[in-house]
Amino acid sequence: MTRSTGGTPEIPATADSGALPVMFQDLEERPVPRRNVASWAMWDWATQPFNSVILTFVFVSLYLVSDTFLPENVARLADDDPIKESALADLSTGYGLVSTIAGLAILLLAPILGQVADRKGRKKRWLLIATALLALLQFSLFFVFADPSYFWLGAILVSLGAVASEIAGVNYNALLVSVSTPRTVGKVSGLGWGLGYIGGILALVAVVVLNAVEWFGLDTSGGLAYRLIAVGCAVWTIVFAIPLFRNVPEPPAPPGEPPLGFAAWFRAFFRSIRDLFRSHRPTAWFLLASAVYRDGLGGVFAFGGVLAAVAFGFSPNEVILFGIAANLVAGISTVLAGRLDDRYGARAIILTSLVGLVVSALGVFLLHDAGKLPFWILGLALCAFVGPAQASTRSLLARVTPEHMQGEVFGLYATTGRVVSFLAPGMWTLFIAVFGATYWGILGIAIVLVVGLVLMLFVKLPRPAHLR
């Protein structure tokens, strides 16, 4: 890393080849041990149950915002009773409020901690702390009993888990360059995403099996089944995260970087944004475009279960089964797309995926009255494009990130995503409120994806040398 005459750290200027040859200069000449690659990818496997089981398909959607946490007299009302519908909406609003506060915490913490990890060479240490905290918070969900008085505890614990997951992801993504080369970064990134989806599948299958055998006769009153599921996810996270900490090397810290206080970290953060925009503007613009379409990608999974249950009449078991199928399709498509990424370039994969997502979303909207089958087909098509877009975004960012700024730029990656995190939920809510039906929400998400697609078309990034 170079320095300005005034002592302000500057991002090294990049040639036409981009930052990729600089970042990977040590790895280009030697193969990366397969054990290191597999160990890195297993972290995605380790933490995916938190996203699939806790956040999306089971704990939150089927337990925390269900009639379990309504007053008994309200819970007994018919599902279509306006009083009950309003009470359930209040639960969703409360959970959304806490999630928003958690998003603001990520906005402030992610880039700062990423910069600390970069300058001190402690990406693995911060990843360990955040992963351990994520596991602890999942364990803590065992104490969220099926009573309205425990709702806020559950909402806070889940949202804190999302913060820990995001902070961990910043440093995990920054380790990608330690286990890949310019020719394999797409494949390795896709492997991580793919294993993550497969891990989510197995976790959801375990839930289905336990429900099928009625928890082997265990008394599951007081929400015990859901609380035990959270404990199982915590154990899963601990066991499968261990290989990364044993086998993945820590990238070296840049030499000569002086220690900074907390306030100085904030000043350095804003200087980094300025310097990144000045010296490598395509990377800065890519962060903007990806922030928009990534929020759309998140909306697909965040509201997919709600859309299936409300607009298409899926039962709780059908929602879980759809979640299994969704993770399976996303995992397979992500692994395959990772190989295409290294051959055709990440930008091409991203653009193709966004087009596929928009077309599939419009199909779901137009066929909302045609029964469950169209949602199964088009909903899974959506999932098939989400994974490749996510994985290729990560690999493309790794390719264009300047030297010794992996953690910082991936912190910006998390931050920019949070800055516009209101887009998909806002458009979802707006379209439903205006048109009065849940299926209109998917059209709102489609618009977010279209905006991200348009922005991405204007992002011109240098291609790796082997693709020229």
| pLDDT at residue 2 in the model | 34
| pLDDT at residue 12 in the model | 31
| pLDDT at residue 266 in the model | 64
| pLDDT at residue 448 in the model | 92
- Contact present, 446 and 358 (Cβ < 8 Å): yes
Domain ranges, ordered by start, for the chain: 19-24+31-250+275-461
Give the model's confidence band at 417: pLDDT under 50 very low, under 70 low, under 90 confident, else very high: low
- Contact present, 11 and 279 (Cβ < 8 Å): yes
Is the entire prediction scored with pTM above 0.85? Answer: no
Residue 452 has pLDDT above 90, yes or no: yes
Q: In percent, how much of the chain has pLDDT > 70?
A: 78
**Of residues 402, 443, 457, 398, the one with CA closest to residue 181:** 398
Residue 94 has pLDDT above 70, yes or no: yes
Q: What is the pLDDT of residues 324-367, one digit of tens each?
A: 888 788 878 877 877 777 777 888 899 999 999 999 999 999 98
Give strand pairing partners of 2: 10
Q: What is the pLDDT of residues 301-329, one digit of tens each?
A: 777 776 776 678 777 788 888 888 887 88
Q: What is the pLDDT of residues 171-209, one digit of tens each?
A: 887 788 788 776 777 678 778 877 887 888 888 888 888
Q: What is the DSSP string of 79-99?
A: TT-HHHHHHHHHHHHHHHHHH
Q: What is the pLDDT of residues 266-288, one digit of tens each?
A: 676 677 667 777 777 777 788 88
Cβ-based burial of 37 (10 A; exposed 0-12, middle 13-18, buried ≥19): buried
CATH number assigned to the domain with residue range 19-24+31-250+275-461, chosen from the 4 options 1.10.8.420, 1.10.10.60, 1.20.1250.20, 2.10.210.10: 1.20.1250.20
Across 133-147, 357-371, 389-403, least confident range: 389-403
| pLDDT at residue 27 in the model | 44
Residue 56 has pLDDT above 50, yes or no: yes
Residue 310 CB contacts under 8 Å (≥ 6 apart), including other chains: 438
Average pLDDT, the chain: 78
| pLDDT at residue 161 in the model | 94
| pLDDT at residue 353 in the model | 93
Residue 420 CB contacts under 8 Å (≥ 6 apart), including other chains: 291, 292, 295
End-to-end CA distance of the chain: give it in Å, rounded.
27
| pLDDT at residue 265 in the model | 62
